[in-house]
Chain A
């Protein structure tokens, strides 16, 4: 097993951008007065001439990014998910997605794990918003190594991409020597046919721990990491539905509009099976330390394991 790296994915994103920018001179980065928090500050330090702080003005930041892309640049526009995907949603729709411009939107501090800042900053709807836009690629990487590769893939993909970044430092679980990121392809982390657990983002590692622990109880769950929520890997979802019979989705997002719906959209037409949705149950969050909130909202190993056990036993 490779060494565990404990980093927030926002930092991995900043590091990866810097690496890409060394050889790709078209990359420019915009932020809205949150560079230190989104970690675009890492890029800013190394490439100050290609970094633009737009101030607390997200609508203009996204529109400016669209103009830069129309003139041949590869702009990355970053803010908290609440303000990039949320506040500037319509700019993303009309000025980026509709003209299919090569803009990368980064949404940091996404999910309940934003913690103490509370409900106004815990964006639980960004994936739903971005997923409905035609042509938008939606990425939600799960650890440091995946974020590094996903960032590179986002830059290399020609067209609009939304990439979700977390605030919380989390342990890596992927092995950088063998890890391979393929846009639109899910990754099976654990084989099993008793149930399929499909997870995305920060909670993948929690699901992994739960699935591993259940082995001793004789439950063999299949665990699939969906880093690309759009376009979703239909093949891996259909195969899981057919071979496992039931699915549990796990996400740090509202159960409406995110991974759960993306999975259900595939199964409902291809292979209808029962889908149990672990996520934020259509409500707002509140202030608190990140891990306490994740526990409260049922997004840690304990609750995920409990849900898997219940679903398998009632099958």
Chain B
């Protein structure tokens, strides 16, 4: 188990990895990668039973990144965990690269489901959770989705399914960074009250600060203890978290840093990493 200081350091490295990856790709989605970096870090270092030496272990916990475009920081976390080499990030999205623009389960160790088309990952996660119940295995399934993604009808089809089948081995984690491509989520197609929506669909719900590791830990512990119903963690986050000029900016959904921006972003994150290392 990593303590909060270690988690903060790992998450800062994951953020740096997302910036490095998208910069070298000259494309990608840094904003949502940065907002979800803390929960990815927590999942892989404190919550999930996974082994980089045996990534296809049938008893492992599963993770489905339903908001597949935010894979750069997930890839960085997988690299930090030891699933593959960190330098793979430098050829993210390049021709012939292992790391695709959206997660590819066939070619990337640690990726449990190919995703990228919004709304679909949550359904696959439900299928994995159902298979676990059928096989009487005690693995758990985690899926991270975006708040904009909750506009997809399939999310709510999956939510109905999870509750109907009492899938208490699945956790929906909604990264509420509040922004989507065309503007704020509330401007484009308002979702609130999202907690009441999930509750009405039969979920137990926790609302947390998605950048606070104490609150993240508490929510996942509560999810483990919840029996008979699926669990949703609604995390308030900041899109672009950790890079000053990206924070809360719609424009950083789907573009990479130019050379000047890259220098600033890397400096900020490396300074943060140095500060956190000094604190250890």
Q: Check A71–B114 contact: CB distance below 8 A.
A: no
Given contacts A28-B134, A59-B153, A94-B116, contact A65 B161 (CB under 8 A): no
**CA of A66 to CA of B116 in the docked complex: distance in angstroms?**
14
CB-based contact B131/A63 at 8 Å = no
Which residues from chain A contact B116 at a C-beta distance below 8 Å? 94
Alpha-carbon distance A68/B164, docked complex (angstroms):
17
Asked if B127 is an interface residue, CB under 8 A from chain A, the answer is yes
Chain A binding surface SS class: helix
The bracket for how many chain A residues form the interface is 20 to 34
CB distance from B136 to the nearest CB of A (A): 12
CB <8 Å contact, A68 and B131: yes
Instruction: State in angstroms the CA–CA spacing of A63 and B114 once bound together.
Output: 11
Q: Which residues of B contact A55 (CB under 8 A)?
A: 157, 160-161, 164
In the complex, whether A48 has a CB less than 8 A from a CB of chain B is no
Residues of the A chain whose Cβ atoms lie less than 8 Å from the Cβ of B124:
63-64, 66-67, 70, 95
- B106, A99: Cβ atoms under 8 Å? yes
Q: How many residues of B contact A (CB 8 A)?
A: 36
Q: Which residue of B128, B164, B165 is within 8 Å of A67 (Cβ)? A: B128
Q: Is the Cβ of B131 less than 8 Å from the Cβ of A72? A: yes
- Cα-based distance from A94 to B58 in the complex (angstroms): 23
Chain A-chain B contacts (Cβ-Cβ < 8 Å), number: 112
Distance in Å: Cβ of B85 to nearest Cβ of chain A: 23
Is A284 among interface residues, defined by CB-CB distance under 8 A?
no
Interface hits, B129-162 → A, CB 8 Å: 129-132, 134-135, 153-154, 157-158, 160-161
Interface pair B117/A68, CB less than 8 Å apart: no
Q: Answer whether A67 and B131 are a contact pair too, CB < 8 Å, given A98-B114, A99-B113.
A: yes
Interface centre among B127, B128, B158 (most CB of A within 10 A): B127
Nearest A residue to B103 by beta-carbon distance?
Answer: A99
**What 1/0 mask marks residues of chain A from 93 to 104 whose CB sits below 8 Å from any chain B CB?**
011001110000
Interface string of A43-69 (1 = CB under 8 A from B): 000000110101101011111111111
CA distance A65 to B114 in the complex (A): 14
**At the interface, yes or no: A19 with Cβ under 8 Å from chain B?**
no
Query: For residue A295, which residues in chain B have a CB less than 8 angstroms away from its CB?
Result: none
Q: In chain B between 83 and 133, which residues have their CB closer than 8 angstroms to a CB of chain A?
A: 104-106, 112-117, 119-132
Q: Which of A61, A71, A90 contacts B117 (CB 8 A)?
A: A90
Contact of B120 among A52, A75, A94, A100 (CB under 8 A): A94
Judged by a CB distance under 8 angstroms, whether A73 is at the interface is yes
Within 36-53 of B, Cβ neighbours of A (below 8 Å) are at: none
User: Given A28-B134, A63-B120, A94-B114, are A70 and B106 also a contact pair (CB < 8 Å)?
Assistant: no
**Besides A63-B154, A70-B105, 11 new A-B residue pairs in contact (Cβ under 8 A), listed by A number:** A59-B154, A60-B154, A63-B122, A63-B127, A66-B123, A68-B131, A91-B123, A94-B114, A94-B117, A99-B105, A99-B113
What are 5 A-B interface contacts by the 8 Å CB criterion?
Answer: A50-B134, A54-B157, A60-B123, A91-B154, A94-B114
